[in-house]
A and B are shown apart, each in its own frame.
Chain A
Amino acid sequence: MSRTDHAGPFIGRSMPRIHDPRLLVGHGRFVDDIDDSGALHAVVLRSPVPHGHIVAVDCAAALACGRALLVLGPDDLELLTDELPTAWRIPGQRARTVAVAARTVRYVGQPVGLVVASSRAEAEGLAELVRIDIEPLPAVLGLDAALAEGAPLLYPEDGTNVVGEIHFGDAPQELERVMASAAHVVERELTIQRVCHSPMEPRGLLAEWIPATRRLTVWSSTQSPHVVRQELATALRLRVDQVRVVAPDIGGSFGGKVTTYADEVMVCLAAVSLGRRVKWIEDRTENLTASYQGRGQRARARLALDGSGRFLALSAHITGDLGAFPIQAGTGPFQVTGLALEGPYRFERAGATVTAVHTNTVPTGAYRGYGMQEAAWIRERLIEEAARETGRDPLELRLLNLIQAEELPYTTRTGLGYDSGDYPAALRRAAALAEERARPSGDSVRRGVAVTPSVEITGFAPSALLEMFQIDWSGWESVRVRVSQDGTVTVFAGVIAIGQGIETTLAQIVADRLGVPIDWVAVELGDTDTAPYSDLTSQASRSLTLAGAALMQAADRMRERMFELAAYHLKAPREEVVLEGAEFRWPAGRTSLAWQEVTSRGWKGWGRSEPGRIRLEETADFDPPAITFSYSAHGAAVSVDLETGEIAVEDYWTVNDSGVLVNPLIAEGQIIGGVAQGLGIALTEEVVHDPVTGHSLTTGFTEYILPASADVPPVTVEHRSTPSAVIPGGFKGLGEGGVIPGPATVANAVAAAVPDIAECLTATPLSPARVWDALSATEAGRA
């Protein structure tokens, strides 16, 4: 171990990520990169119809040729697996579990079985020989079909395709009363399409069952190794201590890898059944058509204003397309849309009803922005339309109604408790940046800018809050800091790395607090054998916020123990010991001792103050006392081609406050990455199903269009910093803020560019076809 010039402080420093070099030289270790010598390969059998009863799965031909090692069908799965648990339900929801064995299929692509062979190509060929005999049932595709009178039912025993319903905030009759007396009410139906997370690395796992130890080890591209471990144990009827889940490098997730899928259980079951290693890597078509999806909702929403433009009431009925069945937290995003509807504004009254609906399509659930992007879309489109209809300046209308800095802390009508910040300051700054960026329109190209503010729920969530709502998760995080004999420092945390740079930011925190060079620090994540327990891990803009808070506490305790040990060995009063350059010194006594010498003696038990506290390890659990809220204002400058309907985002800027930033470079990367995903929702991404066959029409990246480099303009990120009052270290999250206001901001900029079509901007993506249709009906388009 050598001395380095990487001296602290590290918190607040923009530094390159410590783990980048291995990714850059090709030493990433994603699931498919792990040595799979001797592994068998699985291919998933999937439903070809959107709805039907499985009459038989005929494996005879596949087995007869002697090359299939195993074929699993519904009979085997029913016999050998239990259902997967759910965590977050909606009142009225009957299903509390997700079946692994499907007798009735309810979407095209639903896994019904598995073929295992010696190679993937072999297994794919054998899968062609398996005959799945299905008696088709009428299917419902889309919310209208599902809610129509006499619609076919996914679950006839329910008597309806409605899964459940919940109301947040002021009662409907109270909202109606205010609406009736308002000077102006704007009402719209606003839609957000279904989208795919599209991580560049699809799902995949390598499962190994060792008969001698009766232990299952699963290397899985998952965002939630501990949850997957619990779920696999349940589904496979194993004890939790028989299952180890390791999340190696994860090639993006964005909410799509937060729970165990039925096909993943099947792969693990195959490993257990065969006593062999079994591997399955999802292909891109499976990822786009059969992995759980995000968004997919429609809202009928109203905003009421008084004569001076003050917001009297905001009301929405949100209808969410849950797909074939409720997954772990399927309705969660819809519910958050209702909860987060108000955003950074004051409303005298506000409330939302959320209805979740079954359709014969892929189940939906978590996707970066988790209901908050949908809420911003509803709210900010309504506000923009209200400004237009009442002849007010949109910025002035927003500033008039924003919660002022001195009003914080502030409780919304739905009960969210905003903690700290200055929302108007962020919006004013974004508006100032907009002025510098406005560009003139041409004959066939119109230009416009817009700025919109938003708030972001981060550090989700206090365990007591989850208990209150009976959401079956814990909200706390835990970290363990070990200082080894040679002085190196290892951080074990329950959060995991999904590309967001948490290894580096945790290393920065511990190096900063302990006063050691950062290259003495290792961060170990993702292995349930060594990682502290975590339910929500790196979801919900919480990994740095909560693991960082726990680490601040653990590291500070460790620092104090190191000083106590150093004082003992230096025979110095504790308060006179200083640590400089990884050396403890007692200036008055002119003695010193290297950090490594203190750690070495510490592990021998020399100088310990308590017989029951010797190992140089400190663990801290942190359960947040409250949610902490980040906020931002985004601005977009767009051009609209009147001849083609094509929208280009020419410039984009954000003013963001996520409290104390550990690494502004990484923070900026998170925000910009979110912005790009927001632009995808705004302009290009959309899952499309054939309304007759139920098959997805967006099966590859030529149909499901992700933003490319040319679609993402330069993005300016400005930071403000209001430390969180409830999180040690003052951190707030920022994993999702980038995506939240984007689609609304782009649509509002389009509205500014071509006011004639503003009223039509009610659904994303704002594809050229959709915009061209709107333009065709207007003067601007005909000109």
Chain B
Amino acid sequence: MTRAVSLVVNGRPYTAETEDRTPLCDVLRHRLRLTGTHVGCEQGVCGACTVLVDGEPVRSCLMLAVQADGCRIETVEGLATEGALAPMQQALMAEHGLQCGFCTPGVLMSLAYAERARLTAEETVSEVLAGHLCRCTGYVGIRRAIERHWKTEEAAG
């Protein structure tokens, strides 16, 4: 059974005809062609597919697209503005916080949430990064990037 689902993704409205059983990640990736959100396990564990739904981090492999009907979705494609990397993206690059880059979009969305929720750098590492698996970096570069970014933001007030 299919039905129309309306989403506002990164500020742009979309309507997609989708089957009830289709997860949100598949609609984002294969219907809207926003392939930055990656699917690593389809079991809700690895965190690669994390997007923000009405501001809350969600595993888009575990949420059906129909459940997100009418919601505001944010994906990795919405972070950079006018071609310039967002500060958190710059920090990951500077600290070599990504290698293959497959898990990175999901990590970035969780970090965007943490930043808005005003979590500290320590909380972000222990509570937010803990929800992501990265097989390449050993997390050290990601943690350095978090520390760097949070320090910069603090300095900027």
Of B19, B36, B40, B132, the contact of A28 (CB 8 Å cutoff): B36
Question: Closest approach, in angstroms, between the C-beta of B94 and any C-beta of chain A?
Answer: 6
- Interface contact A25-B103, CB-CB below 8 Å: no
Of B35, B43, B100, B105, the contact of A252 (CB 8 Å cutoff): B100
- Interface contact B85-A251, CB-CB below 8 Å: no
Chain A residue nearest to B99 in the complex (CB): A499
What separation, in Å, do the CA atoms of A673 and B100 have in the docked complex?
Answer: 11
The size of the chain B interface, using a CB distance under 8 A, is 55
Which 4 A-B pairs have CB atoms at the shortest separation, nearest pair first?
A26-B36, A499-B100, A676-B138, A251-B102
Question: Closest approach, in angstroms, between the C-beta of A739 and any C-beta of chain B?
Answer: 10
Chain A residue nearest to B100 in the complex (CB): A499
Residue in B29, B33, B100, B132 whose Cβ sees the most chain A Cβ within 10 Å? B100
- Interface contact B79-A25, CB-CB below 8 Å: yes
A1 within 8 A of B: no
Digitize B59-85: 1 where CB-to-A-CB distance is under 8 Å, 0 elsewhere. 000000000000000011101100001
Residue in A121, A251, A676 whose Cβ sees the most chain B Cβ within 10 Å? A251
- Interface contact A20-B129, CB-CB below 8 Å: no
- Interface contact B79-A201, CB-CB below 8 Å: no
- Interface contact B41-A709, CB-CB below 8 Å: no
Q: Residues of A contacting B130 with CB < 8 Å? A: 708-710
What separation, in Å, do the CA atoms of A17 and B95 have in the docked complex?
Answer: 10
Chain B residues near A (Cβ < 8 Å): 19, 21-22, 29-30, 33-43, 45-46, 48, 75-77, 79-80, 85, 89, 92-94, 96, 98-105, 108, 125-126, 129-130, 132-143
The size of the chain A interface, using a CB distance under 8 A, is 53
24 contacts between A and B (CB under 8 A): A23-B98, A24-B80, A25-B76, A26-B105, A27-B36, A36-B30, A200-B134, A200-B135, A201-B102, A251-B100, A252-B99, A498-B100, A499-B100, A499-B101, A668-B96, A669-B99, A672-B137, A673-B135, A676-B139, A700-B45, A706-B133, A708-B133, A709-B142, A712-B140
A7 within 8 A of B: no
Digitize A238-263: 1 where CB-to-B-CB distance is under 8 Å, 0 elsewhere. 00000000000111101000000000
Q: Residues of B contacting A284 with CB < 8 Å? A: 40-43, 46
Overall SS of chain A's interface: loop
Given A24-B104, A26-B105, A673-B137, output 4 extra A-B contacts at Cβ < 8 Å.
A24-B101, A200-B136, A501-B99, A710-B130
- Interface contact A201-B108, CB-CB below 8 Å: no
Q: Residues of B contacting A677 with CB < 8 Å? A: 135, 138
Q: Residues of A contacting B94 with CB < 8 Å? A: 16
- Interface contact B35-A33, CB-CB below 8 Å: yes
What separation, in Å, do the CA atoms of A499 and B19 have in the docked complex?
Answer: 35
Residue in A24, A33, A284 whose Cβ sees the most chain B Cβ within 10 Å? A24
What separation, in Å, do the CA atoms of A266 and B7 have in the docked complex?
Answer: 37
Chain A residues near B (Cβ < 8 Å): 16-17, 20-21, 23-28, 30, 32-33, 35-36, 121, 198-202, 249-252, 254, 283-284, 498-501, 665-666, 668-669, 672-677, 700-702, 706-710, 712, 714-715
Contacts between chains A and B (CB distance < 8 A), count:
165
Q: Residues of B contacting A709 with CB < 8 Å? A: 125, 129-130, 132, 139, 142-143
Of A21, A24, A198, A201, the contact of B100 (CB 8 Å cutoff): A201
Q: Residues of B contacting A665 with CB < 8 Å? A: 96
- Interface contact A26-B96, CB-CB below 8 Å: no
What separation, in Å, do the CA atoms of A32 and B138 have in the docked complex?
Answer: 25
- Interface contact B141-A669, CB-CB below 8 Å: yes
Of B36, B40, B77, B93, the contact of A201 (CB 8 Å cutoff): B40
What separation, in Å, do the CA atoms of A672 and B98 have in the docked complex?
Answer: 12
Q: Residues of A contacting B75 with CB < 8 Å? A: 26
Chain B residue nearest to A18 in the complex (CB): B93
What separation, in Å, do the CA atoms of A233 and B38 have in the docked complex?
Answer: 31
What separation, in Å, do the CA atoms of A249 and B104 have in the docked complex?
Answer: 13
What separation, in Å, do the CA atoms of A708 and B139 have in the docked complex?
Answer: 8
- Interface contact B48-A200, CB-CB below 8 Å: yes
